[in-house]
Amino acid sequence: MELVVGKVLAIFLLMAAGFGVGRLKLLPEGSNTTLNVLLIKVITPCMILSSITSKELTDDTLSMTLQTFAGSVVFFVVAGVLGYFFAKHLLRVIPSSNLGVYTFAFASINTGFMGFPVTLALFGQDIFYLMVMQNVILTVYLYSAGPLMLRLGCERGEVLQTETSGTSDTANAVKTEGTSGGSSALKSFFKSFWNPNAVASVISLIMLFAGLHLPKLIFEPVQTLGDATIPLSMLLVGLQLSESNISDLIKNGKILAFSLVKMLLLPVLTFFAVNWLPLAVSVKVCLIFAAVFPVAVVVAPVTAMENKNSLAAAELIAITTLLSVGTIPLFATLLTQFYLL
């Protein structure tokens, strides 16, 4: 319990620092965009490379690794669908352009910063390793499917404008959109997938399965840069929150309802989905416990990079993280009692 509270407190202290910087206007206008680019295109790929390539894949864990990969893929697909219908038909999120933000956030989970140390402390090395593998699929989801999901609810013209900003060649291509919709959608998917973070994930997985590691001379600076991911992400969340009214945020019924459903109902549904499947006990614990964590902090910068409502994403991160102070210890206790005693 003390570890969980400490991690959540650390998150809010970093967010508070960013909030203070924003309210005091210590950074020049446009700094958010510059920091987002640095985070997405430089810092986070280094974190992915250092965290995955430092692991060892043995024969004993290969089966559980593949089970975790498969279970994680299914989780993100199903959670994304559930999040979409919940936001659209029950919450009736407005404006409609925010629908993609809510959908993206619903399936995202903060298993990197909070998940790794908490899992290691509560469940030991074996389940911790599986959480790292789950985080590999999470990374692919965040930086490939995520940008596509953020377009949900947007008008067709708005989507095209986002895709075509900056280059006349692409703008010309849009003029033929009506006759090549399928091809355009496919190109859009691959464009979203082949960003620095997704590429780093693919390279890291290849190295993991091949038993390759970065030379020490390269690994150490890459790891140092990667370690900046969490503090920089949280500072950016705080900066974005500084533009909102916190009291209004707490009173926002839709954000609170979204957060309660995500933090309480999603782990329960995950339990019923995996409990009776022929999976290793450690894999079941990993998949269920992963669903307990709040919205991933990188949802905000990814949303900002896609020119969507990053403030709404920051608000969802803040409320779900606050609720996690109670939900993480609760579900950790239940999982220990049900599976590990």
pLDDT 10s digits, 6-36: 766 777 788 789 889 988 989 888 788 888 8
Q: What would the two tokens of residue 308 be? A: 């969507």
Whole-number pLDDT of residue 225 = 92
Please report the pLDDT score of residue 286 as a whole number: 95
Nearest by Cα to 4 from 320, 247, 336, 325: 325
What is the 3-state secondary structure of 212-264?
Answer: CCCCHHHHHHHHHHHCCHHHHHHHHHHHHHCCCCHHHHHHCHHHHHHHHHHHH
Residue from 147, 123, 136 nearest 282 by CA: 123
- Looking at residue 297, what is its pLDDT? 83
Res 270: pLDDT: 96
Residue type, 322: L
Query: Which H, E and C letters describe 285-297, residue by residue?
Result: HHHHHHCCCCCCC
Q: What is the pLDDT of residue 72?
A: 95
The predicted structure's pLDDT at residue 169: 35
Ranges of the chain with pLDDT below 70: 1-5, 7-8, 113, 153-194, 244-246, 248-249
* pLDDT at residue 265, as a whole number: 95
Contact status, residue 33 vs residue 304, Cβ threshold 8 Å: yes
Q: Are 299 and 313 in contact (CB under 8 A)?
A: yes
Find out whether 64 and 72 touch, Cβ atoms under 8 Å: no
As a whole number of angstroms, the distance between CA 188 and CA 171 comes to 13
Cα(285)–Cα(290) distance, rounded to whole angstroms?
A: 8
Q: Which candidate, 208, 262, 340, places its Cα nearest to that of 75?
A: 262
Helical residues (DSSP H) of 30-58, grouped into ranges: 31-38, 44-53
- Which pLDDT does position 106 carry in this prediction? 93
